[in-house]
Amino acid sequence: MEATAILGHVTDAAYAGRDVDTVLVPWGDARKHRQVLTTVGGLQVSLTLPRGTFLSDGSVVADDGSTIVVVARPDEEAVVMDFADNVGVDAVRRALVFGYILGNQHAPLEVSAQQVRTPLMTSAGTAEEMLRSLHLNGRVEAVALAANGWTNTSSDHRHSHSHSHSHDHEH
């Protein structure tokens, strides 16, 4: 089956009552615009999407009239830190240091009002030791990452700048 566009979201009214076949797309593959995927039901889907497309959790990528193919994010090992478990002025400082360390690793972040999540990019023991050394309450656990994309950071948010100059005097 060929897929050339994201057709909608599984919650769209047009898909109510339809059979769903799921394709698991890890966070690292969510930006790949060309890939061949196999659904949980065994269907092969060849994606040729426009550059810059992000495969969000719940995206419908194929529809044969009776069954839709829907993207789901599998659980993957991550470092998770709940803000409510890290309170006080010193906790803010320690969390900023944690963010600085992750930034130096170019780690993508998923920041919500409750927590920060980042993919495990080292061993679980090393990540847990880092949290302990910073006196932060956090953990390594398997969670779905970047369901709707990463929190924008300077590394993935680009702007072009142009400047025009006018001269109101003669040369």
pLDDT in tens, the chain (171 residues): 999 999 999 999 999 999 999 999 999 999 999 999 999 999 999 999 999 999 999 999 999 999 999 999 999 999 999 999 999 889 989 988 998 888 888 888 898 899 999 999 999 999 999 999 999 999 999 999 988 888 765 444 433 334 344 445 554
d(CA 52, CA 24): 19
By DSSP bridging, strand 34-38 and strand 44-48 are: antiparallel
Domain 2-72 fold: HSP40/DNAj peptide-binding domain (2.60.260)
Question: Which string of b and e fits 98-121 if b means at least 16 CB within 10 Å?
Answer: bbeebeeeebbbbeeeebbbbbbe
Assess whether the region 2-72 and the region 75-144 belong to the same CATH fold: no
Q: Which residue has the tokens 């109101």?
A: 168
Structural domain spans, the chain: 2-72, 75-144
Structure tokens at 39: 């659904």
Domain 75-144 fold: Alpha-Beta Plaits (3.30.70)
